[in-house]
Amino acid sequence: MKRVRVAVIPGDGIGQEVVPAALKVLRRVAECSQRLEWEFVEFPWGCQYYVDTGMMMPDDGLDQLRYFNAIFLGAVGDPRVPDHLSLWGLLLPIRRGFDQYINLRPVKLLPGVEIPLKGYGPGSIDFLVIRENTEGEYSNIGGRLRAGTPDEVVIQNSVFTRKGTERVIRYAFERARRSRRQVTGATKSNGINYTMPFWDEVFRAVARDYPDVSSHLYHIDALVAYFVTRPESFDVVVASNLFGDILTDLGGAIQGGIGMAASANINPENHFPSMFEPVHGSAPDIAGRGIANPVGQLWTAALMCEHLGFPEEGAWIIKAVERTLEDGVKTPDLGGQARTDDVVERVLTHVERLSHCDAGK
Ligand code: GGG
């Protein structure tokens, strides 16, 4: 039996609903597996903490998180706090401070889910977006001069390092060797004339080390169109920080909605804990109503199990979610009438069946 310590940050809005839902499933998975025991330690950080203290997390927040095996996060954002303050006060310092330079965002069409695209069945869309997660367009280098005047100047620099660019692209090629051996790179080297030609140059150099993997570079404007017109053609897509973020909201939409989308912020060397969070935000419009879709958070929980060395347990969660959706137990964003708790109860039932944990009942 392995003891696994997880720092839990439900955060804001629906994070307060979908995180407890996922913890319930994770606890049952551990009971059924008998191979692991969770120790969940909850941190009350986020926008309410900001309203109360002026900080999204304490000054020593990263030190408090450092020795956990993983971080499990819900959502960040609240209309009372400007978005750039909430993001740069919690999520981004964790991603950067713990060198979580890989952001894995799977896009897969699950059974029982209707999507806006016609003619696609379960599994026919199945690819992985790998987003660079620590540099690129998300830089805090820049400034604002003569604010509020007609002569105002605002500058935000992008930062692409050779190390940062090469390691994410190489990770994508390695990952593609585990799937259909195809990598697509997102670029914009026609309009963005320093960073993106550099990105392409590194992409092509890394591709030469992987003759067994086919590779393509597409301008981001064409790529978003291909996501809609031929999503079945992708295997692994690698993108800079901003492009990856935008692509995966679209990825969420083509797998049924942003509430479905999972993500993992990984430090591959395990020098620091990795962080698991769904792609969606805090959804203040539906927060507190008990109807948030827990699938993104549950799928994220499965990615965490896999990362921590429990792939079988992760597979139970994904399979249980698939069966729940096939049963038609779906929240309103997917066209159903179920509440968050209904989905969780059905997922628990399927986890028990899949793991034969219900044998004694
Ligand atoms: N689930 C985490 C969350 O609330 N994300 C909201 C968000 O806006 N994230 C921006 C980003 O991932 O760059």
Please name the residue that has the structure tokens 């994904």: 318
Q: Residue 23 in contact with residue 40, Cβ under 8 Å?
A: yes
pLDDT mean values, one per 10 residues, the chain (361 residues): 97 98 98 96 98 98 98 97 96 97 98 95 96 95 96 97 98 98 98 97 98 98 98 98 97 96 98 98 97 98 98 98 98 97 98 86 65
Question: Would you say the CB of residue 245 lies under 6 angstroms from ligand 1?
Answer: yes
Predicted confidence at residue 360, as pLDDT, reads 59
Structure-block tokens of residue 91: 């999520």
| Alpha helices (H) along 230-294 | 241-254
Q: Residue 295 in contact with residue 106, Cβ under 8 Å?
A: no
Please calculate the CA angle 1-294-80 and round it to the nearest 5 degrees.
115
Predicted confidence at residue 358, as pLDDT, reads 76
Predicted confidence at residue 136, as pLDDT, reads 97
What is the best residue among 81, 83, 87 to mutate for testing ligand 1's pocket, by most ligand atoms within 8 Å of CB? 87
Q: How far is the CA of 209 from the centre of ligand 1 (A)?
A: 33
Predicted confidence at residue 199, as pLDDT, reads 98
Q: How far is the CA of 173 from the centre of ligand 1 (A)?
A: 25
Q: Calculate the alpha carbon distances from 89 to 25, 42, 325 in Å.
A: 29, 18, 36
The 10 Å CB-count burial string (b at 16+, else e) for 180-207 is eebbbbbbbbeebeebbebbeebbeebb
Question: Would you say the CB of residue 90 lies under 6 angstroms from ligand 1?
Answer: no
Predicted confidence at residue 214, as pLDDT, reads 98
Q: How far is CA 136 from the centre of its chain?
A: 18
> By CB neighbour count within 10 A (0-12 exposed, 13-18 middle, 19+ buried), where does 146 fall?
exposed
Closest residue to atom 11 of ligand 1, CA basis: 245
Structure-block tokens of residue 124: 């026919």
What is the best residue among 17, 76, 134 to mutate for testing ligand 1's pocket, by most ligand atoms within 8 Å of CB? 76
* 213 conformational bin, left if phi > 0, alpha if psi -120 to 50, beta if neither: beta
What the chain holds in terms of domains, given with CATH numbers, is: 1-106+261-361 (3.40.718.10), 126-254 (3.40.718.10)
At 66, the amino acid letter reads R
Phi and psi dihedrals of 167, rounded to 5?
-70, -35
> By CB neighbour count within 10 A (0-12 exposed, 13-18 middle, 19+ buried), where does 76 fall?
buried
HSE on the CB side for 190, CA within 13 Å? 6
Q: Residue 245 in contact with residue 281, Cβ under 8 Å?
A: no
Predicted confidence at residue 361, as pLDDT, reads 65
Predicted confidence at residue 181, as pLDDT, reads 98
Closest residue to atom 13 of ligand 1, CA basis: 245
